[in-house]
Structure 1
Amino acid sequence: MSLTSFATPAPAATYSASSQAQLNAAITAANADPDPTATIQLTTSFSVSSAALNSPSKPITIDTQGFTLSGSVDPSGDGLAPLFQGGSGSFTLMGNVVGGEGSFPLRGEGGSGIKLEQSASVINNGTIEGGFGPDNDGGDGVFIDVSAAPGVTFINNGTVRGGDGNPFGGNGIVVASATNGAIVNTGTIYGGDWSVAIFANSAAVSLNLINSGTIVSGPREEIAILLTPGATNGITLELQAGSKIFGEVVGNAAAANDTLRLGGSGTDSFDVSEIGQKYRNFDTFEKTGTGTWSLIGTGTVATDWDIQDGTLQIGDGSVIGDITNNATLAFNGSDVFTFDNLIFGNGTIRQLGSGKTILTGDNSSFAGNTIVEAGTLSVNGILGGTLDVLAGGRLQGTGQVGTTDNAGTIAPGNSIGTLMVSGDYTGSGGTLEIESVLGDDTSSTDRLVVTGNTSGTTNVKVINLGGNGAQTVEGIKIVDVGGTSAGSFSLLGDYVFEGDQAVVGGAYAYRLFQGGVSIPADGDWYLRSALLYAPGVPLYEAYAGVLQSLNEFGTLRQRTGGPEVDDSQSADDAGNGPARAVWTRIDGMHSHFEPETSTTGTEYDVNSWTLQAGVDGMLHESGAGALIGGLSFHVDAASADVSSRFGKGDIDTTGYGFDGTLTWYGNSGFYIDTQAGLTWYSSDLKSSTLHATLADDNDGFGYGVSVEAGQKIALSNRWSLTPQAQLAYSSVRFDDFTDQYRGAVSLDDGDSLTGRLGISADYDNDWRDAFGKIGRSKLYGIANLYYDFLDGSDVDVSGTSLVSENQTLWGGLSMGGSLSWAGDRYAVNGEAFARTSLKDFGDSSAFGVKVGFSVKW
């Protein structure tokens, strides 16, 4: 068959070839064909010599059709590569192209898969592989040798692989001389055994790489891309979305000519911790293309980034270096990220995500726009340009920003601090959040300083950081306006006071006013205080505490005088361990409370008494001890004097209820006592300041349980010590009511959990009377520590919470005794006690007496 017949164009400008001569003829015919593109299909596998294939003048595709186009072997035994030279067109390779195999007897090297010279432009959509070197190195996948402009462009959409060899495989791509062209990889480039994927093997060669595919170093090789360093050469590596490089990328350590570029139109992330380790000797870092790249990881090498196009996004982690932003810089993390370096340019900064970004540098050279869309931007340095806070965003810090529009939240400071707007401020329905220790004019507070004009509307939210309130004169300045003060700032208060929104600070209400007292036209905004609470409020705050004073539990010793059973006596002869008994007890106590926490600064005194009567009976007796159960009825009464700077008054309470007890007396001296009680209350609340009754016969209810345990330790026949512990839970409630001034009162929390640790010293004596009946006496002293584990009471008055929490740690001393006679048939017991708060010793205190009488039968 003649050569001409093989070169005859097929329909759709398709040609066939089965040899190098036919392939060259097909290229020539395709160049002459008027169709804009052409395809040459191989009809068999064949090899080509070292002579260059004809140059294309249009895009020509060489499709091997499942066959293989390979290089031949030169006389020295080395494999040869198909050679492509430049033209005005390009070659696209589809199928398999393999370098010539080295001759084994001659120890020949494998040939390159293809060789590119002059201005060749080749697109690989198939597989290119270096030739096999059975007794020498494998061939390179692609060998580029161009010394003149415009250089070679090689686009790999398929696979390039260095050939196998013995002992070394070939490199994936080798650039052997200076070129202005580029290598674009969307496919996969592999290095052979012990070889790199891309290698610039001359000090005069620079690499220009664009990668959105995969580049893999050869087996047993750590470097994927390697530059031979020279005086002026370097690597320009552009990573696009999807880029994966397995192995190190080594630039020029001798000259600052290496650029790492994040480009393309897609979205991807780059780990900055790999700079200096995986990406070595790079000097310039750029963001190009319209896509979005996120910087992740923690950088350890200074990297200044130049954002030329698209978006560079900083997420969780950190980046070290300055940023020139002429496109978009986005902070999109979920953690706290501090950026200490500088930002230049006139692009856009976006705060995204749920995290907090902290800017600390002098970014006054930035002339673009910053948008806070979500999360928090904290400016503690200077940020130039303009700034927009959107509805989901938060701006805070102690630094300076430019002209600002607020539709979100601006919170000056990072707790207490000043934020400056160097320019104009416009409120677009956003919120100004002010933290302040509400007190007098000198109170610590956040402040927004605007050097220019204000306009629009802004809501103001005030957060009190523990201020107890005080009377102001000028007021607490929260907005300082340097220009025209035409903006409207409206307080979001706790309630309405005298027609204005007001916030509560201790005993005072703070309202927002424009203009100072001394200079009414200054245009600034101030918080000024006024007294808050009505005279009846202190009574409502103390109410739950008065009920708790009646609802508390006594000790086993106070109730019984301290009975026990030991192994020397039977239960019936144990004296203080009756089988059946009826008893009565009366208590009287005076208490003074200065709560550790009180919303209204209320103090109160309570005088109370309790009358209780009950019956006890033995439920079980054994060699180990006795179990005693009891039921009782009680009535209570209390009168409380309540005093506060806001008003004074009285609370009178009566109550009745039932108690149950269950006590184990061990023969070893150990005991455990449990109590449970229910009480129904009725109270009158009267304000002496208003000369009015605020609540009449208000019903309440209380309940509680107590567990006490102790162990008698005998020191002698008469002296003993008894360490003991008690835990008592008490809960009180009262019915909601509304006073005559329309104050709606309800109890949110009225629970108490009190622990007691004590130790008693006891002296016991016994005798027999003239009838042989045993009599006994006991004297004791007890030292106790008390601790309340809960947070006191919380009363709501028309939406305002009133908290009262007494001192949590108390100490107490008690002295008492008991006397029984007529064979323990009759017994009396009594105790006097006093206790005080320990933190502020003596400020809160209580003392009282408890006396009881019992008859056994």
Structure 2
Amino acid sequence: MAKLDPKGGTIAVRCRRRLFLTTAIVALACAGPRPACAQSVTGNNVSPGSVQTPNWSVGSDLFIGTGGNGTLVIQDGGTVTNDTGLIGNGPSEQGEVTVSGHDGSGNASTWTNNGDLVVGQSGTGTLFIENGGVVSNTGAYIGADTGSQGDVTVSGRDVNGHASTWTSTGQVYIGDNGTGALNINDGGLVNSALALIGNSSGGTGTVTVSGHDGNGNASSWNNTNQVYIGADGSGTLLIEDGGVVNSGQGLIGYGSGSEGTVTVSGRDVNGNASTWNAANNIYVGFSDNGTLTVSDGAAVATSRAGGGAASIYIGHMNGGTGTVNVSSSTGDVSSLTATDRIDVGRDGTGTMTVGKGGFVSVGSDVRIANGSTGSGTLHLDGDASGRGVLETGSVIKGAGPTAILDLNGGILRATRDEANFLNGFGTLTVGAGGAWFDTNAHDIAISTYFSGTSSFNKLGLGQLTLTGDSSAFTGASTVSAGTLAVNGVLGGNTLVDTAGRLVGTGSVGNVVNTGVVAPGYGNAMGTLTVQGNYVSTGGHVEIATVLGGDSSPTSRLVVNGTTSGTTQVGIINRGGLGGQTVEGIKIVEVDGASNGSFLLVGNYVFHGEQAVTAGAYAYRLYQGGVSTPTDGDWYLRSALLETGNPSLPLYQPGVPVYEAYGANLQSLNTLPTLQQRVGNRNWAPGADPVGNGIWGRTEGTHGHFNDAAASTTGLDQSIDAWRIQVGADRVLADPDKGGRLVAGVNAFYGEADSQIRSVFGDGAVKSDGYGLGATLTWYGLDGFYVDSQAQVIRYDSDLTSAYLGRLSRDNGGHGEAFSIEAGKRMSVGNNLGVTPQFQMVYSNVHFDRFTDPSDAVVSADGNDSLKTRWGVALDHQRAWEGGRSHIYGIANVSYEWLNGIRTLVSGTAIINASERLWAELGLGASIIWREELALYSEVSGNSPFHDFGDSYYLKGSVGLRLQF
């Protein structure tokens, strides 16, 4: 008897001792359903003697059907042990063995072959293993010699759920040189080390694994190592109705002249898939013809121990022809999984078809015609009723002479980011079913030139980039989801669906936009050209631009044909700081009839129109240029007026607030006069009120500033402020030396609230300030005085816009102020006196740099003031027992020497400067009791000489001083 050695191909011959059972029935059985089996064996024409009972141990080979027909039945827990078992040994002999059931204690009927088991050596052999029976051996042959026929059926389980089991610790040959069949049904179980189906050139083998036991236990074949389907002969493996095969490497059509077929189909009634799990590579058409069919919800997968990857090779060696079909007609998805790669035509000829209901998953790549002699064809088929799916990292065209990728309705799905997804395919003609690409949340690129008249479809999240010239494609393209980037040419018509985006720097044909069209690629700006007509049905256009002047870099949509419909336009500013435009930034160019409407989606609405902000400026969208108003193109312009003088810029709504911010801080940063701070301390000669003491005062102001000498935004500002201040004074110098020198310290807190109105937008500023001050005053005995002050202050401010909402919260700032004042009271009789006086105040404020909600960077740049005041006061003093009074009126003229407040908004200077020359009138009084307690107050109002009364500043203060 010859057999194939898979490792080396050597031939081995074996001689056996023989025990003949001819024309006999040998039975080991229980007579009936009793608690313990009383086994007996009966028969005749048995050699070497009578059968032993209850267990039969044969010390030699056992032949069933030698010289005629033989039958062996092992049931109800009976056991047989021998060396090699042979069923149907001779050419005209027939043998049949049944191993079935168990005894009353659950012990299975068992046939143990210490050597090989041959079913159909030269004759006909049949083996049934059922109802939990168990058979074991080393190697096994089913249909061993030429002309032999062997059949093995392993089916069912016993009442305790134990599977009918056949275990071969060596190689199993199904159709060695003859015809062999192995059927595993109804939950049966077969274990083997290595299997060859259709081993020799004349051998024909078939294995069928089908069904389950009714309790969900699948019929199973566990083969540890290789399984050859058509080793050198003809082999067939059928896995159906939920059957399961677990094997090592799978080789279909292994040797020259072989034919191998594997069909894995269907599911069981519980929905469990018929499955082949190969713990190594699968070869379909290794050296000759091989076919693998996965259908109607079945599953085939490769893997390696420890999580390693395994591949599928279709048409592996030169001369090998492999065919793989994956599809389903039942609605259940059929799957083929290669954890590494699939080669379609490695060095042979390979064809893989993924049809409707088929799903193929590849861990790395699909290679077509990979070797120098390989020819491969990959069909991706489908239609509206169902589409095949191939999931892969890429598809690579190899070095072979013929590599065909047939895109005909099936879906090609990406599993990773890939810059060359169809590697090596220079041109492809799209089939009638169309090309369907699912980027599956990945970014892939294709340089292939497509042609055809059907359809091109982009599915899934992620981006598909086309760089080739596909002007020869004249069909319909649809961007259903994710992004299609056209950096080359795509002919035909393109529909951008609601969940789709069309981007790129290339050109497309006619476009219907219900999603998003965004010229440019990645973070780079660019021009996307529509060579035909553009129609929007609720679509959007996104334009990336550097918002600045007319020459700003920008993306652009160019339409060679006509436009229609309404398009929402969103602007993405690429770091533009804003700028003043004349013609504007052209973002849409229309060569034909410009009948479509492009509506800006902005940050806010200015006078009923959407506007978008950049730095200090705001932009609106206009059709037609300033010098070419009928050109039909669309421009972003930062112009205040639609027509007329384009040099009047449109500032964003926050700018008036930023312009007014410094003035609000300055309202808290001012220093009072000596009279306002501590009341009258300069009495008629003879009085001596100057001494140590403490004091407190509060003041409130209201200012309205209109038609400033310089205002970038032409704002009106109203400021309401109040301040409370407390201090202590100490006399440092003796009056006998000609006067007194008084030093003081003070602390204060205040708030200022501004309301701003401007054509560009209204807003408000609220500032809190707190700080410390120091004073040094010289009082001469002749009525002359010199007063100096210094203070530092810290600010926290909130800025808001009526359009943009909160601009900044708790923005920090600080200020310093210094003052020098001098005057001399001169008596003019009748308790009257005149005091000419002069004061110079320097004030500086600064706030922390911040970024507003429009990404404009706002910073202070020169918020200081140097103001001089010339004044004269006329007072009346009166004394009585225990007290004195001082009533006065004052007139002042003040002048601002510096240039006002300057704020930078993303580099654009925003200026605010009040009139320089102001006039002021005030009234005040001081009352002192018992030379210790003084109450003092003053009210005043001032206004600029220019347009007197349009702007004004009202102030009132009251203080209390205690001397000790």
TM-score by length of 1: 0.56
- Aligned partner of 1:461: which letter? V
- CA distance in 1 between partners of 2:545 and 2:652 (Å): 29
Matched, 1:349 2:456: yes
Corresponding residue for residue 300 of structure 2? 213
SS in 1 for 2:503: strand
Structure 1: gaps (5+ residues): 8-17, 28-37, 73-77, 100-109, 131-138, 163-170, 562-580, 586-615, 619-628, 666-670, 688-693, 712-722, 737-744, 763-779, 795-800, 817-829
Matches within 5 A, 1:234-633: 242-243=335-336, 255=347, 265-267=357-359, 269-272=361-364, 286=378, 288=380, 290=382, 291=387, 293=389, 295=391, 306-314=406-414, 317-318=417-418, 320-322=420-422, 324=428, 325-326=430-431, 327-334=434-441, 337-342=443-448, 344=450, 346=452, 348-414=455-521, 416-433=525-542, 446-451=555-560, 454=562, 456-459=564-567, 461=569, 463=571, 468=579, 470-472=581-583, 476=586, 478-481=588-591, 485=593, 488-489=596-597, 491=599, 510-512=621-623, 524-527=632-635, 532=641, 544=657, 548-549=661-662, 551-552=664-665, 582=678, 632-633=698-699
- CA distance in 2 between partners of 1:307 and 1:749 (Å): 55
SS in 2 for 1:552: helix
Matches within 5 A, 1:107-256: 112=195, 118=203, 120-125=205-210, 126-128=219-221, 142-145=227-230, 147=232, 152-153=236-237, 155=239, 157-161=243-247, 176-178=254-256, 179-184=258-263, 186-189=274-277, 204-205=287-288, 208-209=291-292, 212-217=299-304, 230-233=317-320, 242-243=335-336, 255=347
Corresponding residue for residue 789 of structure 1? 849
In the TM superposition, residue 728 of structure 1 has moved relative to its aligned partner by 0.9
- CA distance in 1 between partners of 2:263 and 2:913 (Å): 86
Structure 2: gaps (5+ residues): 1-23, 26-64, 73-84, 98-125, 158-162, 211-218, 265-273, 327-332, 682-691, 730-744, 775-789, 821-839, 869-893, 921-937, 939-956
SS in 1 for 2:357: coil
Structure 2 residue aligned with 1:95, among 175, 188, 202? 188
- CA distance in 1 between partners of 2:747 and 2:412 (Å): 71
- Aligned partner of 2:418: which letter? S
- Give CA deviations for 1:708-736 in whole Å, capped at 9, x if unaligned: 5899xxxxxxxxxxx998541234789x9
- CA distance in 1 between partners of 2:661 and 2:446 (Å): 56
C-alpha distance 174-397 of structure 1, shift in aligned 2 (>3 A) = closer
In the TM superposition, residue 399 of structure 1 has moved relative to its aligned partner by 0.7
C-alpha distance 232-548 of structure 1, shift in aligned 2 (>3 A) = same
Corresponding residue for residue 808 of structure 1? 860
In the TM superposition, residue 301 of structure 1 has moved relative to its aligned partner by 10
In the TM superposition, residue 398 of structure 1 has moved relative to its aligned partner by 1.7
- CA distance in 2 between partners of 1:288 and 1:746 (Å): 54
Is this contact kept in 2: 1:237–1:259, CA < 8 A? yes
SS in 2 for 1:213: strand
Is this contact kept in 2: 1:234–1:251, CA < 8 A? no
- CA distance in 2 between partners of 1:233 and 1:664 (Å): 107
In the TM superposition, residue 640 of structure 1 has moved relative to its aligned partner by 3.9
* Structure with the greater alpha carbon radius of gyration: 2
In the TM superposition, residue 45 of structure 1 has moved relative to its aligned partner by 5.1
- CA distance in 1 between partners of 2:770 and 2:395 (Å): 60
SS in 2 for 1:641: coil
SS in 2 for 1:318: coil
- CA distance in 1 between partners of 2:409 and 2:722 (Å): 81
- Give CA deviations for 1:813-840 in whole Å, capped at 9, x if unaligned: 9899xxxxxxxxxxxxx99996875978
In the TM superposition, residue 360 of structure 1 has moved relative to its aligned partner by 2.8
Corresponding residue for residue 677 of structure 1? 751
In the TM superposition, residue 432 of structure 1 has moved relative to its aligned partner by 4.6
- Give CA deviations for 1:471-522 in whole Å, capped at 9, x if unaligned: 549x95834345xx48544545879999x9786896886543699959x6x8
Corresponding residue for residue 38 of structure 2? none
Matches within 5 A, 1:40-59: 42=130, 51-52=143-144
- CA distance in 2 between partners of 1:61 and 1:190 (Å): 23
C-alpha distance 96-451 of structure 1, shift in aligned 2 (>3 A) = same
- Aligned partner of 1:81: which letter? Y
- Give CA deviations for 1:230-270 in whole Å, capped at 9, x if unaligned: 54448767788554557x67979984767777667245654
Corresponding residue for residue 728 of structure 1? 795
Is this contact kept in 2: 1:445–1:478, CA < 8 A? no
Is this contact kept in 1: 2:542–2:571, CA < 8 A? yes
SS in 2 for 1:402: strand
- Give CA deviations for 1:23-47 in whole Å, capped at 9, x if unaligned: 97889xxxxxxxxxx9977575567
- CA distance in 1 between partners of 2:286 and 2:657 (Å): 88
Structure 2 residue aligned with 1:706, among 761, 769, 775? 769
In the TM superposition, residue 339 of structure 1 has moved relative to its aligned partner by 0.8
In the TM superposition, residue 400 of structure 1 has moved relative to its aligned partner by 0.9
Q: What is the total number of aligned residue pairs between the two structures?
A: 656
C-alpha distance 733-533 of structure 1, shift in aligned 2 (>3 A) = farther
- Aligned partner of 2:503: which letter? Q
- Aligned partner of 1:318: which letter? E
Is this contact kept in 2: 1:447–1:478, CA < 8 A? yes
- Aligned partner of 1:512: which letter? Q
- CA distance in 1 between partners of 2:409 and 2:652 (Å): 68
- CA distance in 2 between partners of 1:182 and 1:753 (Å): 79
- CA distance in 2 between partners of 1:447 and 1:409 (Å): 14
- Aligned partner of 2:590: which letter? D
- CA distance in 2 between partners of 1:356 and 1:236 (Å): 33
- CA distance in 2 between partners of 1:836 and 1:496 (Å): 28
- CA distance in 2 between partners of 1:265 and 1:837 (Å): 71
Is this contact kept in 2: 1:396–1:410, CA < 8 A? yes
- Give CA deviations for 1:6-25 in whole Å, capped at 9, x if unaligned: 89xxxxxxxxxx99459978
- CA distance in 1 between partners of 2:533 and 2:649 (Å): 47
C-alpha distance 643-537 of structure 1, shift in aligned 2 (>3 A) = farther
- Aligned partner of 1:422: which letter? Q
Corresponding residue for residue 81 of structure 1? 173
Is this contact kept in 2: 1:98–1:113, CA < 8 A? no
In the TM superposition, residue 371 of structure 1 has moved relative to its aligned partner by 0.8
C-alpha distance 430-272 of structure 1, shift in aligned 2 (>3 A) = same
Structure 1 residue aligned with 2:722, among 644, 650, 658? 658
In the TM superposition, residue 388 of structure 1 has moved relative to its aligned partner by 1.0
Is this contact kept in 1: 2:794–2:813, CA < 8 A? yes
- Aligned partner of 2:209: which letter? N
Cα RMSD over matched residues?
A: 6.9
Is this contact kept in 1: 2:528–2:557, CA < 8 A? yes
- CA distance in 2 between partners of 1:837 and 1:757 (Å): 15
